[in-house]
Structure 1
Amino acid sequence: MSIFKSHISQMGAYKPPLEDRDNHQHLLLDFNERTLPVSPAIKKALIDFINDDQLQVYPAYGDITQKIADYCGVKPDQVMTTNGSDQGIDLIIRSASREGGEAIIPGPTFAMYHQCANIENLNIIEPAYSRENGFPKQAVINAITDKTRLIVLANPNNPCGTPIARDDILEIAKAAPGAAILVDECYFEYTRQTVCDVVQQYPNLLVTRTFSKTWGLPSVRLGYIISSKDNINALLNVRGPYDVNQLAVVAINAALTNPEYTQEYVKEVLGVSKPMLEEFLDTRNIEYWPSVANYVWVFFDSPSLVEQTLKKANILVRPKMDHHSRLGLRISLGNKQQTVHLIDTLTSII
């Protein structure tokens, strides 16, 4: 007999395929990461911190919340740092959920939402995205009941890269005033679409973001939540005082001081690499979902063969099923040189 809640023992763990990934050997186009090293300023800041012999001291976060708030254009009391955006997602879902409640999570989407909702034993309703119609707004609204505790709106969604219109998010927030509306803006730097400016007007809105993707710092784990002051104060009661790694704060301080390094990368991905890959797919009539992020969900005639052949060429991509159990490959975008290499390899396969 388990000492834990019975449903937890019956769950499966979220296990992303991290084995045998080596950025010195492979071109990593499978986890939507930044494909180039971080700026020299970030490396120097981390090295200087370590050389200053502070690893034995508990974290002291300084003005990092103020700096993130300035970057986002919100007040510092509307921001809370987290151990990656995954912790932010988990804290929001844990704090908002009641057993027997319902969660509306349009899909297919990021597995972490389901993982956290299942831990809280929520009943999950999953309206389906489609390539033709995009985000299923009306299906989400139709699914709202007095049991709805959570609605997850990934903007843009992963793996399809589909955006959600700002007006649609706010309409849903109004339609479900008793539910937490978790708006995941993990890829904000690519889309520049946000609702963080209205979190005080909509007290059920909670925005999560991360420094893992665009900023290239997934290994140090720093994300943040933007919401009303009252929501942030409540969530601070749940988060631990030392959950955020001090090295993460050092790295993010340096990153925010040198934003142009990230901005130039975003510009190349969206302005050069993405159009190149889309043109390649269009000229060969290969189906893909329109995306506003740094990845494209592509449906080849023989996806498993394409994936394995790319892997033999040391290029990793991520297989993802749609709602009809059709297998697609989510392909992250890097810089121009990396995209030329990808296209050359795909040309030799197809």
Structure 2
Amino acid sequence: MDWNESTISPSPLVRKALLEFADNGLMNWYPDVNNKKLRGELSSYSQVDVDYIDYFASSDALHEYIIRAFINPGDHITMIAPTYDNFRAAAESIGAKVDYFWLDEKNQFKFDFSRFEEYVEENRPKIVYLCNPNNPTGTIYSTELIEQLVRRFNDVLFIIDEAYFEFVGCSASPLVANYENIIICRTFSKAFGLASFRVGYAIASKHNMEGLRKLRNPKNISSYAQIAATAALADVNYMQEYVDEVLEAKKVFTESLLSLGIEVIGSQGGNFVLVKFGEQQKQVMSHLENNQIFVRNYGHVNGMSDYTRITIGTRQQMDFVFETIRSSL
């Protein structure tokens, strides 16, 4: 319940395809460096032209390519925070300067659009990183809001991390055909259950995609990862059934925690919730660990000393987590 991975195995088609490759594949060869079938499946799934899409060795690796392609030492990056930290780490590793626009913790991490516009106008970062829905707060940004930002600040590159797209359904992907200053990052690690294979993909304009491909090492996306992703896309119904199960489990889990007087944030976005245990946090964390349930304590993050993020799994799994929490209070 810590890393927001899928809590079940991927589609049986994935295992079948991998076993077939192990028996018949040429494992001594390099991977396909231009997997047209996979790109075609991604295009169909994402409902964008195939020229606007390409696959990478995880969305983390994609972040690093974006930094290398578009950022120089000393450039200014703004991240809407608290959020996923990998983009910050990649940016600072090459000498970029990162600052944060903080969501309103006192108002359940609400996003103040007008104040953010003023912030960008004043600071003029080269890149804005926005996770949608945001990890760990579950904050959701509408496509209309994102388009307003992209249109107004056309000299700022907006990185929209849609790692949890499948759990909310809304996407900024239609914007890439009309705007050059937006790149969307997605992953197979969450809803599709392929975290160990390290495969993600980008959706962006032709121009931006050409820039990323100049740096992308196509041999770094293993044959197994390509096969697993292709097989997972051939069984979208399996993924959707799991997503539906997670969303139902999250609803019940959230209502159960609220009935105990525990504050829950982000119940709308992602396969996780952010929980405020307050003074009871230490005893709850200790009790969960003693029962082999591991969750993400956000006590190390500015202003989040009382918060814990819990990955949502199946209804049965979350019933067990809830009962363990209740017995700790």
TM-score range, shorter chain: over 0.9
Alpha-carbon separation, structure 1, partners of 2:186 and 2:47:
14
Instruction: Output one character per residue of 1:294-330: Cα deviation in whole Å (capped at 9) or x when no partner.
Output: 1001011321221121011011111114532423110
User: Which residue number in structure 2 is paired with residue 344 of structure 1?
Assistant: 323
Q: Percent identity?
A: 30
Alpha-carbon separation, structure 1, partners of 2:152 and 2:125:
11
User: Which residue number in structure 2 is paired with residue 20 of structure 1?
Assistant: none
User: Which residue number in structure 1 is paired with residue 16 of structure 2?
Assistant: 44
Q: Give the aligned residue type for 1:155.
A: N
User: Which residue number in structure 2 is paired with residue 196 of structure 1?
Assistant: 173
SS of 2:3's partner is coil
Q: Quick one: which of 109, 114, 119 aligns to 1:143?
A: 119
Alpha-carbon separation, structure 2, partners of 1:168 and 1:47:
45
Q: Give the aligned residue type for 2:61.
A: Q
User: Which residue number in structure 2 is paired with residue 79 of structure 1?
Assistant: 53
Alpha-carbon separation, structure 2, partners of 1:326 and 1:244:
38
Contact 1:34–1:213 (CA under 8 A) maintained in structure 2:
yes
Instruction: Output one character per residue of 1:86-118: Cα deviation in whole Å (capped at 9) or x when no partner.
Output: 111111122111222211101111110210121
Q: CA deviation at 1:136?
A: 3.5
Q: Which runs of 5+ in 2 are unaligned?
A: none
* Alignment of structure 1 residues 7-86 onto 2, 5 Å: 29-60=1-32, 61-86=35-60
Q: Give the aligned residue type for 2:151.
A: K
* Alignment of structure 1 residues 276-291 onto 2, 5 Å: 276-291=252-267
Residues 1:318 and 2:296 aligned together: yes
Alpha-carbon separation, structure 1, partners of 2:102 and 2:92:
19
**After alignment, is 247-256 or 134-143 more displaced?**
134-143
Contact 1:106–1:140 (CA under 8 A) maintained in structure 2:
no
Alpha-carbon separation, structure 1, partners of 2:46 and 2:207:
18
Q: Give the aligned residue type for 1:310.
A: L
Q: CA deviation at 1:282?
A: 1.1
Q: CA deviation at 1:40?
A: 1.6
Query: How many equivalent pairs are there?
Result: 321
Q: Give the aligned residue type for 1:332.
A: T
Q: Quick one: which of 115, 120, 125 aligns to 2:99?
A: 125
Alpha-carbon separation, structure 2, partners of 1:54 and 1:93:
34
User: Which residue number in structure 2 is paired with residue 234 of structure 1?
Assistant: 211
Alpha-carbon separation, structure 2, partners of 1:241 and 1:344:
46
Contact 2:147–2:175 (CA under 8 A) maintained in structure 1:
no
**After alignment, is 309-318 or 323-332 more displaced?**
323-332
Alpha-carbon separation, structure 1, partners of 2:222 and 2:40:
17
Q: CA deviation at 1:146?
A: 7.2
How well do the aligned residues superpose, as a CA RMSD in angstroms?
1.5
* Alignment of structure 1 residues 299-338 onto 2, 5 Å: 299-300=276-277, 301-321=279-299, 322-338=301-317
SS of 1:127's partner is strand
User: Which residue number in structure 2 is paired with residue 266 of structure 1?
Assistant: 243
User: Which residue number in structure 2 is paired with residue 5 of structure 1?
Assistant: none
Q: Give the aligned residue type for 1:159.
A: P
- Kindly indicate which of the two structures has a greater share of residues assigned to helix: 2
Alpha-carbon separation, structure 1, partners of 2:264 and 2:93:
33
Q: Quick one: which of 65, 75, 79 aligns to 1:91?
A: 65
Q: Quick one: which of 57, 66, 75 aligns to 1:101?
A: 75
Alpha-carbon separation, structure 2, partners of 1:53 and 1:186:
30
SS of 1:63's partner is helix
Cα 1:319/1:75, change in 2 over 3 Å? same
Moved over 4 A (4+): none
Alpha-carbon separation, structure 2, partners of 1:176 and 1:121:
24
Contact 1:101–1:147 (CA under 8 A) maintained in structure 2:
no
Q: CA deviation at 1:176?
A: 2.1
Alpha-carbon separation, structure 1, partners of 2:95 and 2:112:
24
**After alignment, is 259-268 or 168-177 more displaced?**
168-177
User: Which residue number in structure 2 is paired with residue 179 of structure 1?
Assistant: 156
Contact 1:206–1:225 (CA under 8 A) maintained in structure 2:
yes
Q: CA deviation at 1:147?
A: 4.9
SS of 1:106's partner is strand
Q: Give the aligned residue type for 2:247.
A: L
**After alignment, is 322-331 or 196-205 more displaced?**
322-331
